[in-house]
Every structure is written in structure tokens, then in C-alpha cells.
Amino acid sequence: MGRSYIVEDAVEGCLSKLCEQKAGSVTGLLLGQSSPQRDFVVMATRTPPREETPAGNPVDKEWVSEHARQVSRMLPGGLSVLGVFIITDTEAKDTLTTLRQLVFAMESLVSSEQLWSPAEDDVSDCVALHVNRKTRKTFCRTFDVKDPKSTAKPADWRYQAGVCSSWSMVSCCLHVDLLVPLPDNKTDPENMDKCLKEELRGWAQRLESGVCLMDGRKLAEDAELPGGQKRNVRQTYTAQILVTPSEQRLADEEQRCGGSVSIRGAVHSRAYLHSNKPKARLAQKLLKRDAVATVTTRVQMLLEELLTSEDENKSSSKQKRELFCLPHRVFCPLKASGPLCVCDYQFSDESVCEVTERLKEMLDIDAAEEDLDSSQEAPGEITEREVGAEPTVETVVALEPKRNSFIGVAMATAVALLATAASMLYLNDV
């Protein structure tokens, strides 16, 4: 018996609408939550059309994979890209090879940005759905993406109303305090990306072993969350994650470096739970992974911005301190899917309209400005302050390249601030 997929009936309407399009193959992503027993599909979104499609290749796996990577960044804890769909006029058996290639390429790119350790109960099956444009018949198969030799397995695809109408939500405000030394005279964004990813991976491991309090109480992993889950009643929980600080460097230890990156402050994290008897273990795992993902995403987005302007920076004279705001997190509800939300990251120089445009392009969500919830995190503000003064912004990432310098315990006092949602980046050349 293959896996079962419980699918929000709004997905059926979305796929039927896409079947009405007459031009070529249509590909897209299936979003939802996995569990050891079955998966829940809450949304389908079409891959945005590409201006230049490779000749002779109607399905561009690199483009579909990049879409999956971008969408994964917009999903809070508990939601993920479960697989892909394709709509064609051909028979399902003629698309199996294409679907397999799409699933494996997508999983490879998306997983490359995930810094947490795999869990024993993680599901490695990805769904591949074919819809015949003429008959509207669906053909559902799964592939084990951890097995390169995996073949297609049959799966059950069932539509149902109100799949996530009573999903629980757990959220927390997580404090972050990281100091990352950079290689000597190698403070370009590509090297910063490598160093940051290594440090964030270590932080993710410490976070994974951290203590999680649910509504102020430490629950056994197998314990059910208080209140359970009631139909059409949304349960919400507030959590705290206590993380053991990284080991301090010895006082006499020095490391030659070209600068440092300091990340300090707090971020808003949240996760959704599908089970009618949600367990503390699941809530903790999904919440911790969301915390890692949201911090990593913001830093990565900023580095991508720096890479695009790297040539301009190289041509400029010796830089003084420069400040850049990292994006803050904005949530948008999935109206057709009950209480669930997706998110986006808004830079300080972006308008709300740009956020709604991305939601439309990436997730095909027609969101109005008033639908967006930006109350969880405040936009960043670039302000100067005296050393030791109380921070007035909420999230700050400070990059302080220092040529021919050394880093030791004293560098723990490097200028840096990071609090709930507002983020900054400092660039110093000395």
C-alpha cells in the first residue's frame, strides 16, 4: 500500500483551472505537511513562465527547482514543498521520467539550504502528480528522494474539504547571538556565505538540542499538547527555546582573520501542526527548523544582494563603515486554507506592493495590502548609538571586515545587534 495524500479541495479547483490553459505543459509545486502515516496537501502553485524556454525542452527542471527554492523560503514551520505536478495532453506513463527528474532536481536544490540534521521520522517520499488536461484524470506516484535508484510507487490522492481548518499553531521569539570570524583578507560575499553557513549549521545543532518550553512548561516528547485539537477551533501555543551558548574561545587563543560577522537579537518563529493529537516532539522540531530557516534565509538574501553589487564595491575606494538593513518577516494568510499563513521578507526600501507582487508570482496568491501581517516584526532602522547603549532596533547583523587583524575573546564585544525582525549589516574596512 502506497502513501496517502489528503488534499484540500481548493487544490482540485486550482488544477482544473490550469487544465483550461491550452499552451503546452504546465508544471507546479504541491505544498503541505508530511507525516509518517500520510501527507496533507493544502496548496498547488504554478511555476512562473520563463521568458526564454530552452529549445526542445518544454519542461525546464532548473527553473522548476529554483521556483521550489524560492517558495521554500516563504513557508513557515510545518509547511514544505511536498512534490511537483504536471498537466499535459499525453498519457501519464509518458511523463514519469520527466516527473522523476523534476522531483530529484527540486529536492537536491531545496535541501542544500537546510542546515538542520535529518530526523528518523522525516519523510523522504516526494509526490509526483500527473493531470490529463482532456480527461482531468489524476495519476499519483511517489519517489524516495534519498534513494538514487528509487522507482515510482503508487499513492492514493483524495480530495477533502477543510483539511487544515483546525491546525494548531505554535510560535516563539528566539534570541540569537553568533560571532563568525572570516578568513584573512577574504571578506567578499562568497566567502562570507561559506563561513556563515558553517557557523549557522553549528548553531542549528545547538538549537536542535535546546530545551523547549510550551506555554511555560517543559513537556515530555511523547506528551500531547494541552487542549488537543478541536474541529474548526484553532489552538495556539507560545513557546520558549533555551539554547546552550557556544563554547567561548580560550583567553590566549587567537585566530588570524579578515573580519567578523556578528548576529545578535531575536526573531519571530512559528510552526503549524496537522495532527488531531499534536505531540510536543513534533511542535519542537518544526518550530526549531523554522527558526533556523528564517535566520538563514535573511542572511542569504542579503548576501545575494551584495553579490549583485560586488563589482561596484570593488571599483570604489577604500570603504568606511556601511550599514544595510536585512529584511523583516511579513505573513500572509491562505484564505482558502483556513488558519495557515505563508511569509515573505521585505527590505526597508521595498514597498508593500512589491511583497504582494512576489506572493502572486511565487505562490499565485492575490493578496491585498491589508491582508499582510507585519506586526510580528518591525522594519529595520539604521541608527548610530554609543557603545553600551540600549538597542532601539530589533534585528541587526554586523559585518566588520578588519584587515590583518586578530580575533580572540575580546572580539565578542564587536558591534552588532539583532532583535525581533529588524536587521542590519555593518561593513567596516580598516
Considering the entire predicted model, what is its pTM?
A: 0.85
Residue type at 320 in one-letter notation: K
pLDDT higher for 127 or 57? 127
CA distances for 70 relative to 18, 47, 290, 306, angstroms: 21, 11, 15, 18
Distance of CA 346 to the CA centre of its chain: 14
- pLDDT for residue 140: 96
For 273, residues 6+ apart whose C-beta sits below 8 A from its C-beta are: 78, 167, 168, 169, 170, 225, 229, 282, 283, 286
Confidence of residue 399 (pLDDT cuts 50, 70, 90): very low
- pLDDT for residue 318: 43
- Cα dihedral across residues 401, 403, 408, 410: positive or negative: negative
Confidence of residue 235 (pLDDT cuts 50, 70, 90): confident
Rounded to whole angstroms, how far apart are CA atoms 57 and 27? Answer: 13
pLDDT tens digits, 315-355: 444 444 455 667 889 999 987 556 899 999 998 888 999 99
pLDDT tens digits, 96-140: 999 999 999 999 999 999 998 888 889 999 999 999 999 999 999
Confidence of residue 53 (pLDDT cuts 50, 70, 90): low
> Are residues 164 and 340 in contact, defined by beta-carbon separation less than 8 angstroms?
yes
Q: What percent of the chain has pLDDT over 90?
A: 48
Domains and CATH numbers, the chain: 4-160 (3.40.140.10), 168-427 (no CATH)
Rounded to whole angstroms, how far apart are CA atoms 340 and 373? Answer: 13
- Share the mean pLDDT of the chain: 80
DSSP-derived letter for residue 415 is: S
Nearest to 296 by CA among 188, 186, 207, 172: 207
> Are residues 365 and 223 in contact, defined by beta-carbon separation less than 8 angstroms?
no
**Cell matching residue 331:** 505573513
Question: What phi and psi values does residue 325 have, to the nearest 5 degrees?
Answer: -90, 130
Rounded to whole angstroms, how far apart are CA atoms 331 and 75? Answer: 10
For 350, residues 6+ apart whose C-beta sits below 8 A from its C-beta are: 327
> Are residues 197 and 262 in contact, defined by beta-carbon separation less than 8 angstroms?
no
pLDDT tens digits, 158-191: 999 988 888 999 999 988 888 877 776 555 666 7
CB atoms within 10 A of CB 329: 24
The angle that helices 96-111 and 61-73 make with each other, rounded to 10 degrees, is 40
Residue 272 has, within 13 A of its CA and on its CB side, a CA count of 25
Confidence of residue 255 (pLDDT cuts 50, 70, 90): low
CA distances for 348 relative to 99, 206, 310, 345, angstroms: 39, 31, 20, 10
Task: Please compute the mean of the pLDDT values over residues 39-63 and round it to a whole number.
Answer: 83
Rounded to whole angstroms, how far apart are CA atoms 359 and 350? Answer: 14
**Cell matching residue 126:** 516526494
Task: Please compute the mean of the pLDDT values over residues 196-218 and round it to a whole number.
Answer: 90
